[in-house]
Amino acid sequence: MDYEHGASMNSTKPRIAIVPDWLNQRGGAERVAAVLHTMFPDAPIYTSIMDPDELWPELIGADIRTSWMQKLPGLKKHFKKYLMLYPKVFESLDLSDYDIVISISSAFSKGVKTRKGSIHICYCCTPMRFVWDYDSYVKRERFGKVIRLALPFFISLLKKWDIETINRPHEYVAISSVVANRIKQYYGKEASIIFPPVNVDRFLCDNPDGDYYLVVSRLNPYKRIDLAVSAFNELGLPLVIAGDGHDRPILEAMAKSNIHFTGRITDEQLKQYYGSCRALIFTGMEDFGIIPLEANAAGRPVIAYKAGGVLDTIVEGVNGVFFSSQTPDSIIDAVHRQQHISWYKQKIQAHASKFSVSNFKREFIEFVEKVTQRKIY
């Protein structure tokens, strides 16, 4: 890889910094930050804000350096209201001491400034959704009328900034093919693909078969759990919905007696639910989608909407089946097809193991060493 800055690096161990957008929730991007921390424990983590109560266990005790935003009021509930501050926050981070900067970005951290001679690798969960897919974002967030009127002006400013900072990363790595395509479409950049780490070992089990189907999700509108409820109202088959969210009362009011809502559950309970279900129902469109692979790790097939990250992870007839449209009838058809397939737990689990944490670590280290032309271990 012919980098002018790479040639100036000496053979000493490179100094690495990890830069996620924020650490105030336990999402997939934060999970990546946690795994990178286990790989590079001496690397400080720079971010905008942090909620210590929402850190993944691996990040407890890590060297996390938050920005001046951490002192602003109401961050726990209202961090999105500070939307216009984030570009300045990340541009203000001093990363001049580091040879390698790894940003984990679905929004802002790709815009950090690095010194000449360093290499910035952006692990991109998606280009800014609220900039490039504005209509879907507004619908998903359910903003009030006043915010809807004012937001387009601010979004236009953020889009301008996002375009101006396209070349700050030297390399883009996408979490899935659909994200790599967005990076090409919006940024004009080619991106390598390294799938996010899935803790498949945590869900390995050999439970007896149950009679129920399973949904695992936050109960928010864009997850389209209403489709599963409508489909299973008609099918009459047992459906367990694990998770919580502000749509739960609406969904419970829709559901017939064959559908059971668990609310929030522990990891051990989740493992047991995965391990005995007939199949996982996955109704949304995700940039990657870790939950289907967790169900696969327990040896169970997935019935998934044919869009987004599952196009990389589900092989029809091997570890799941697709439904082609977000309608109850399409789900019902897929359930019927799934019932006539002979599923092999070991084959499903072997497929899930391709997306393990250890595979992510190996692929990511190989990529970093390739683009930096330096050994990092």
Q: In what order do the strands lie in the sheet with 259-263?
A: 259-263, 239-242, 213-216, 280-282, 302-305, 320-323
- pLDDT tens, residue by residue, 202-221: 999 989 999 999 999 999 88
Q: What pLDDT is attached to residue 146?
A: 60
CA angle, 108 then 307 then 105, to 5°:
10
Rounded to the nearest integer, the mean pLDDT of the chain is 92
- pLDDT tens, residue by residue, 16-56: 999 999 999 888 999 999 999 999 999 999 999 999 999 99
CATH architecture of 200-354: 3-Layer(aba) Sandwich (3.40)
- pLDDT tens, residue by residue, 57-109: 999 999 999 999 999 988 888 888 888 999 999 999 999 999 999 999 999 99
Contact 242, 260 (CB under 8 A): no
Q: List where CATH 3.40.50.2000 sits in the chain.
A: 200-354
- The token duo for 126 is 């998606």
pTM (two decimals): 0.90
Single out the residue of 327, 326, 328, 301 nearest to residue 315, CA to CA: 301
Matching CATH number, 4-197+357-372, of 3.40.50, 3.40.1350, 3.30.1240, 3.10.590: 3.40.50
Q: What pLDDT is attached to residue 134?
A: 72
Contact 284, 224 (CB under 8 A): yes
- Cα torsion 300, 252, 145, 143: sign: negative
